Chains A and B, each alone.
Chain A
């Protein structure tokens, strides 16, 4: 079984400050991990993924995420947040032992960046 938890429903940050969105996962095998962002009334847009290799993954729009196997975490980070980063962020996981393309998503974290 595969599962994801996003412990924060909302994160508030001032523009220019660092942004962190937390994600923890549970899988039977090894994880494939993804971050997506959703703007109002839109589908999900891909930010980055971890498959294997370097634990620090760099993605779109200045976002990065750090894979930590011992803590089963994959937190999303941005060094300097923009007002335009305000959106809903989803972490997703797929167990490498699973078949098919099923991703299991977390409940989402709303990010509000204030000017």
Chain B
């Protein structure tokens, strides 16, 4: 079985631009969570989606948005990019509750804003 797939693996954007990151969870996993990992720090929670509904939102500005599709894949959108948005963006899928089923993380998308 394929693991969690994220695309693209790397990208470079200019300040003020918009970016869309994509995640395909493990087959059968209904929950997708997004984390931002700035270099030298631990991952920070951005969003969780379960069955296409938002189940949690971290302390991020409204420039960050996400959605989940009927096939459980997900997109993370970031508008008006800032230099500080440069980070590794991680997608984590879970069948349901993380405490019962755990997370499986993708390898991430490395976003560089210049």
Contact = CB atoms under 8 A, between A and B. Distances in A.
Interface of A: 4, 6, 32, 34, 36, 41-46, 49, 51, 90, 92, 94, 99-108
B25 interface: no
A90 B44 CA distance: 12
Given A90-B42, A102-B48, A105-B42, A44 B105 contact: yes
What are the 9 tightest A-B residue pairs by CB atom distance, in nearest-first order? Answer: A43-B105, A105-B42, A100-B56, A101-B98, A100-B55, A44-B105, A102-B45, A32-B99, A43-B107
Interface residues of B, number: 29
Nearest to A46: B102
A15 to B, nearest CB: 26
A110 to B, nearest CB: 10
A43 B56 contact: no
Contact of A102 (B33, B106, B107): B33
Given A43-B108, A44-B105, A102-B58, A51 B42 contact: no
Contacts of B98: 94, 101, 103
A102 B58 CA distance: 8
B31 A101 contact: yes
A49 B56 contact: no
Interface string B83-114: 00000001010100111001111111010000
A43 B55 contact: no
Contact of A45 (B35, B44, B105, B108): B105
Given A100-B48, A102-B48, A107 B42 contact: yes
A45 B42 CA distance: 14
B56 A99 contact: yes
A44 B105 CA distance: 6
B4 A43 contact: yes
A104 B45 contact: yes
Contact of B99 (A49, A90, A107): A49
